[in-house]
């Protein structure tokens, strides 16, 4: 009888584990990439909460937009600035309402600025609108004869000082949600949360 030299299999020996499939690795990488992307986008919206004065993104209502436009004759010319322009709806509505008016928005959130530029292109007013990603406290406002403000109560005092110091004497100011604390308004549309105050620096 012929003896076999091969060693008998060891029942205690561990079976080598198969490596992670390529599909699994792609799925993990894609999930991680999406998570990082969402974190970057969300950070732009959450970051204002950590500033001394928080100016959150709250879209203007249809009623607020109409109230703002009611203080702007259709033949208005010059330049308008929306402070904290968000998704750009006030800037675009003003450009559509007043064909001779150039309208700008200043906003710190880069994603809202990019969205506003695309929206202006889609609505056919990109040639008369501009959107700047800048800190409003460092933004030069001396060339604007219309200024729209969607602010918070904590910022209105400092903003009033900036407007008085930098704006031309004929500038018209339209404040939404909160009034300027010291300037005397010329007109007001009382409409609850959609209330709008109209100021004329030439009469203040």
CB of 171 within 8 A of CB of 181?
Answer: no
* Mean local confidence (pLDDT), 167-192: 95
The structure's pTM equals: 0.75
CA separation for the pair 189, 144 (Å, rounded): 23
Min mean pLDDT across 14-23, 34-43, 187-196 is at 34-43
Continuous H helices in 47-178? 62-69, 89-97, 110-122, 156-166
CA distance 14 to 28: 28
* Selection from 186, 112, 197, 191 nearest residue 159 by Cα: 197
Q: What angle do CA 173, 175, 177 make, to 5 degrees?
A: 180
Task: Output DSSP code: residue 61.
Answer: P
β-pairing, 78-83 vs 101-107, is parallel
Tally of CB atoms within 10 A around 117: 16
Q: What are the pLDDT digits (tens) for 65-109?
A: 999 999 999 999 999 999 999 999 999 999 999 999 999 999 999
At 41 the pLDDT is 42
Would you give the end-to-end CA distance of the chain in angstroms? Answer: 119
Could you read off the pLDDT of 147-175 as tens digits, one per residue? 999 888 999 999 999 999 999 999 999 99
Per-residue pLDDT tens for 35-50? 454 444 444 444 444 3
Measured distance CA(198)–CA(182) in Å, rounded: 13
């Amino acid at each position: 009888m012929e003896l076999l030299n091969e060693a008998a299999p060891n029942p205690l020996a561990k079976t080598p584990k198969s490596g992670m499939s390529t599909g699994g690795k792609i799925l993990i990488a894609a999930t991680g990439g999406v998570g990082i992307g969402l974190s970057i986008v969300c950070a732009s919206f959450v970051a204002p909460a950590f500033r001394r004065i928080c100016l959150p993104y709250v879209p203007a209502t249809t009623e607020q937009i109409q109230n703002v436009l009611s203080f702007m004759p259709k033949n208005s010319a010059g330049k308008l600035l929306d402070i904290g322009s968000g998704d750009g709806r006030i800037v675009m509505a003003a450009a559509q309402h007043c064909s001779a008016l150039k309208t700008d928005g200043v906003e710190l959130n880069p994603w809202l600025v990019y969205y506003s530029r695309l929206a202006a292109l889609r609505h056919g007013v990109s040639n008369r609108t501009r959107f700047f990603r800048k800190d409003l406290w460092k933004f030069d406002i001396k060339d604007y004869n219309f200024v729209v403000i969607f602010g918070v109560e904590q910022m209105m005092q400092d903003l009033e000082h900036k407007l008085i110091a930098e704006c031309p004497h004929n500038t018209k100011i339209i404040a939404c949600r909160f009034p300027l604390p010291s300037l005397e308004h010329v007109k007001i549309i009382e409409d609850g949360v959609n209330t709008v105050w109209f100021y004329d620096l030439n009469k203040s």
